[in-house]
């Protein structure tokens, strides 16, 4: 895989930006009132994080089955009922919800949230799961759908916008981390000490 940052740099020279760059450029940090809304709603959501995690991914695979290609364990599972009772899916859903919980906890410390999301993006590189715009957008959208019934009358269009703002911001940071790790690995591969030694075949 080529270095994403290098390819973006080439486009920038000609004044072109990809859809992902456009989305990242449009991403903003949640406002103070949005941060408070997110925190208040999370106090209710966290009591059902296991259920939300399962609902989120079952809905994701149901509405966008192509996303299963990113998840090796669930790639060939067609039975949604089997997915709902899957211990592996429950565990993965909890990991994602744990990341969301950590993100919410760091909303008052932007530098810590940035470091968390960038590091997660780097981790995605190592299991070949680039944080593409479509997939991360779908996860955010399914999260919103999964928590609405839990929050009931607390759910508002303003709260929905706040969560979407957070997801968009975090997605951009994850993509940056992925690109940084992509470049780092490429540079390591091209490093002289990692190149095979040339043997002197002269007689």
Q: Which domain holds residue 52?
A: 32-189
Structural domain includes residue 150? yes
> Among the ranges 18-27, 153-162, 176-185, which has the highest mean pLDDT value?
153-162
Structural domain includes residue 165? yes
At 28-41, the pLDDT tens digits run 999 999 999 999 99
Q: What angle do CA 104, 177, 7 make, to 5 degrees?
A: 140
Q: Report yes or no: 46 and 56 within 8 Å, Cβ to Cβ.
A: no
Structural domain includes residue 24? no
> Among the ranges 37-46, 52-61, 63-72, 185-194, which has the highest mean pLDDT value?
37-46
Please state the rounded mean pLDDT for residues 104-110. 97
Structural domain includes residue 149? yes
Q: What is the pLDDT of residue 7?
A: 34
- The residue among 41 and 90 whose pLDDT is bigger is 41
Q: Report yes or no: 52 and 145 within 8 Å, Cβ to Cβ.
A: no
- The residue among 37 and 89 whose pLDDT is bigger is 37
Structural domain includes residue 140? yes
CATH number at residue 174: 1.10.490.10
Structural domain includes residue 8? no
Give dist(CA 136, CA 174) in Å, integer: 10
Q: What is the pLDDT of residue 14?
A: 35
- The residue among 76 and 177 whose pLDDT is bigger is 177
Residue 156 three-state SS: coil
**Mean of the per-residue pLDDT values of the chain:** 80
At 166-200, the pLDDT tens digits run 999 999 999 999 899 989 888 888 876 655 555 54
Structural domain includes residue 146? yes
Give dist(CA 34, CA 30) in Å, integer: 6
Structural domain includes residue 48? yes
On the question of pLDDT at 26 being above 50, the answer is yes
Output the CA–CA distances (angstroms, integers) from residue 16 to 9, 20, 22, 114, 118, in the order listed: 10, 12, 10, 26, 24
195 DSSP 8-state letter = S
Give dist(CA 203, CA 172) in Å, integer: 56
Output the CA–CA distances (angstroms, integers) from residue 36 to 32, 156, 160, in the order listed: 6, 14, 13
Give the per-residue SS3 of 53-108. Answer: HHHHHHHHHHHCHHHHHHCHHHCCCCCHHHHHCCHHHHHHHHHHHHHHHHHHHCCC
> What is the percent of the chain where pLDDT is above 90?
43
- The residue among 105 and 8 whose pLDDT is bigger is 105
The number of distinct structural domains making up the chain is 1
Residue 33 three-state SS: helix
Model confidence at 21, pLDDT cuts 50, 70, 90, reads: low
On the question of pLDDT at 11 being above 80, the answer is no
Model confidence at 89, pLDDT cuts 50, 70, 90, reads: confident
Q: What is the pLDDT of residue 185?
A: 87
Q: Report yes or no: 114 and 180 within 8 Å, Cβ to Cβ.
A: no
């Amino acid at each position: 895989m080529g270095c994403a940052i290098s390819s973006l740099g080439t486009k920038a020279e000609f004044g072109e930006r990809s859809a992902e760059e456009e989305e990242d450029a449009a991403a903003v940090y949640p406002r103070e009132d949005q941060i408070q809304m997110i925190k208040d709603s999370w106090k209710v959501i966290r009591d059902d994080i296991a259920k939300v995690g399962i609902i989120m991914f079952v809905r994701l695979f149901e509405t966008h089955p192509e996303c299963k290609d990113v998840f090796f364990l669930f790639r060939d599972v067609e039975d949604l009922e089997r997915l709902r009772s899957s211990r592996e899916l429950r565990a993965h859903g909890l990991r994602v919800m744990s990341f969301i919980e950590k993100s919410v906890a760091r909303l008052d410390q932007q530098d810590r949230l940035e470091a968390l999301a960038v590091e997660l993006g780097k981790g995605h590189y190592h299991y070949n799961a680039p944080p593409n715009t479509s997939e991360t957008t779908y996860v955010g959208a399914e999260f919103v759908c999964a928590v609405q019934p839990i929050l009931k009358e607390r759910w508002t269009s303003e709260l929905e916008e706040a969560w979407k703002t957070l997801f968009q911001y975090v997605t951009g940071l994850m993509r940056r981390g992925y690109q940084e790790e992509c470049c780092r690995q490429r540079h390591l591969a091209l490093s002289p000490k990692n190149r095979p030694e040339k043997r002197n075949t002269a007689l």
